[in-house]
Amino acid sequence: MITDYGKFVENVTVEGVTFKSKNDRAGTGYATNSLTSNVTAMHFTGIKNLKVKDVDMHDMNVGIKFGVSSVNQINENITLDNTHIYSSLTPLLMNTTNGFTMTNGTLDASAGSSRYLHSVYVDKNTSNITFDNVLFENSPGAGVHLYNGYANTNVSTNIKILNSRIQDSRVGILLFSGANKITVSNVEIVRVDLAFS
């Protein structure tokens, strides 16, 4: 769902849906040596008041994507509850989003083998992001990657990772240039090569 710049789709609920694909294609570029799907389950640009609840995804290239790298159309007030994304290259990819909360979920990046693939990748123009009781696992990159190295964009700010677990990943949490006001509280990081970078 992608809207024209300055226009929004509002008040959307996705509940009780299961998405399934098959990771049966050889990855190229950043996904070299990975088996991939060509499917992104859900992609939103220009949405307000989205609720995703009781949703499962299996074998996706990208589970849920918010924003488009070349467009600054904002997403606002997003809630994911009891949403589980398994065996994905990048379960959650986010930019241009303000007001996002994920609770009681799983972000499993076990389909990939490149260090550029993460359980969640939070990028430019993001603010007020909260993960609470989320399992980030099996990432060949980072369980959580917070980045904003682009010129002329707003920094990723006010990001909270609470009561969660990061496991079986190369890096637990990767804080990169531009991200600020980060809170990590009551988070268990286990079986990783490097907890913070």
Provide DSSP, 55-69.
Answer: EEEES-SEEEEESBT
For residues 83 and 64, give the distance between their C-alpha atoms in angstroms, rounded to a whole number: 10
* DSSP designation for 28: -
Which residue blocks in 11-156 are alpha helix, DSSP H? none
Distance of CA 177 to the CA centre of its chain: 18
DSSP label at 70?
A: T
- pLDDT at position 25 is 78
Distance CA 74, CA 190 (A): 34
The stretch 7-30 carries a mean pLDDT of 87
Residues 76-91, mean pLDDT to the nearest whole number: 96
Q: For residues 138-148, give the mean pLDDT.
A: 89
CATH fourth-level superfamily of 9-196: Single-stranded right-handed beta-helix, Pectin lyase-like (2.160.20.10)
- Segment 160-195, tens digit of pLDDT: 999 999 999 999 999 877 788 999 999 999 999 999
In the block, residue with structure tokens 């904002």: 74
72 pLDDT band, cuts 50/70/90, is: low
Distance CA 167, CA 187 (A): 11
Q: Which pair of tokens denotes residue 36?
A: 């991939």
Question: How much is the average pLDDT of 87-104?
Answer: 95
Query: Mean of the pLDDT values across residues 64-89?
Result: 89
pLDDT over 70 at 69, yes or no: no
Cα 74 to the chain's mean position, in Å?
Answer: 16
Locate all alpha helices (DSSP H) within the chain, ordered by sequence: none
Range in 32-36, 38-42, 74-78, 148-152 the model is least confident about: 148-152
Residue ranges of the domains in the chain?
Answer: 9-196
pLDDT at position 190: 97
Burial of 150 (0-12, 13-18, 19+ CB in 10 A): middle
Q: What is the mean pLDDT of residues 15-28?
A: 87
Mean pLDDT value of segment 38-67: 93
Determine the pLDDT at residue 133: 99
110 vs 182: CA distance, rounded Å: 26
* Residue entry with tokens 């009681």: 104
- Calpha distance 56→8 (Å, rounded): 26
